[in-house]
Amino acid sequence: TQLLEQSPQFLSIQEGENLTVYCNSSSVFSSLQWYRQEPGEGPVLLVTVVTGGEVKKLKRLTFQFGDARKDSSLHITAAQPGDTGLYLCAGASGRGSTLGRLYFGRGTQLTVWP
Amino acid sequence: GAGVSQTPSNKVTEKGKYVELRCDPISGHTALYWYRQSLGQGPEFLIYFQGTGAADDSGLPNDRFFAVRPEGSVSTLKIQRTERGDSAVYLCASSLGGPPGAPLHFGNGTRLTVT
């Protein structure tokens, strides 16, 4: 059972289109991170959101943390082929014995065609 | 600067054999993490070190798995009596300072295949 559910699992779009990826849970997290992973490489951190309702922008990427800190979304504007990759969300409980643990979703595999 | 280095990048072993996977974290990073990523899945937590000690090893699937970090830098993940189900990419990450909140820097992983 995944603590974090990501949707869609696969997304294939044309260059220039907009898209949104969702990350949902029934659990509350102290923070949530988004990573991008390319084949044969480890995940690379894109952003960390901490406050409920927080919105962070990174160029064409907009990240939002839900008010209740149970869900998050990633919106990409005018996608480019270089955005292709596996997008992973990961939540931290931030307390107790699981302080050091991140719970990852299965990821959304994004392919952007020229 | 140098990132997290994992060796070997690929390891093929026979069922029942013993393997060691090595992780060299970023210099000065006190926290070190091991995750396992199976095909089509997100990374799954195995163990977290703060300095030399394992602060949380509750993600290790069973007693065939063991990890050490004797000098607070390099870490080795050891798997005894490997099984085909152990096949996965084993990812190591380090962070400057401990959780929560410190960003993780991942290596490129060791792809373990058990035949």
Q: B53 in contact with A at a CB cutoff of 8 Å?
A: no
| Rounded Cα distance, A45 and B89, in Å | 18
CA distance A18 to chain B (A): 24
Instruction: For residue B12, name the pLDDT band (cuts at 50, 70, 90).
Output: very high
Say if CB A27 and CB A34 are below 8 A apart. no
Q: What is the pLDDT of residues B15-72, one digit of tens each?
A: 999 999 999 999 999 999 999 999 989 999 999 999 999 989 999 999 999 999 999 9
Q: How many domains does chain A have?
A: 1
Question: Would you call B25 an interface residue with chain A, using a CB distance cutoff of 8 Å?
Answer: no
**Number of domains present in the structure of chain B:** 1
Could you tell me if B33 and B75 are in contact, meaning their C-beta atoms sit under 8 angstroms apart? no
Average pLDDT, chain B: 94
Asked if the Cβ–Cβ distance from B56 to A100 is below 8 Å, we say yes
φ, ψ of residue A5 to 5 degrees: the values are -105, 125
Spell out which chain A residues touch chain B, with contact meaning CB-CB distance below 8 angstroms.
Answer: 2, 4, 6, 30-31, 33, 40-45, 48, 50, 88, 90, 92, 94-95, 97-107
Task: Tell me the pLDDT tens digit for each residue of A51-86.
Answer: 999 999 999 999 999 999 999 999 999 999 999 999
- How is residue B9 annotated by DSSP? S
Q: What is the CATH number of the domain that holds A36?
A: 2.60.40.10
Q: Does B98 touch chain A (CB under 8 A)?
A: yes
Q: Which residue of B33, B58, B103 is in closest CB contact with A45? A: B103
Q: Domain of residue A76: give its range.
A: 5-109
Q: Tell which wins on pLDDT, A93 or B28.
A: B28
B102: tokens are 């410190």
- Torsion A44-B48-A98-A7 (CA) sign: positive
Alpha carbons A24 and A5: distance in angstroms, whole number: 5
Domain housing B81: 5-98+108-114
Q: Which of A2, A4, A89, A101 to mutate to test the interface with B (most CBs of B within 10 A)?
A: A101
Q: Where residue B79 sits, what CATH number does that domain have?
A: 2.60.40.10
Query: Does the pLDDT value for residue B100 go beyond 70?
Result: no
CB neighbour list of residue B75: distance below 8 Å, 6 or more residues apart: B22, B23, B25, B32, B34, B49, B67, B68, B69, B92
Whether residue A33 and residue B103 make contact (CB cut-off 8 A), yes or no, is yes
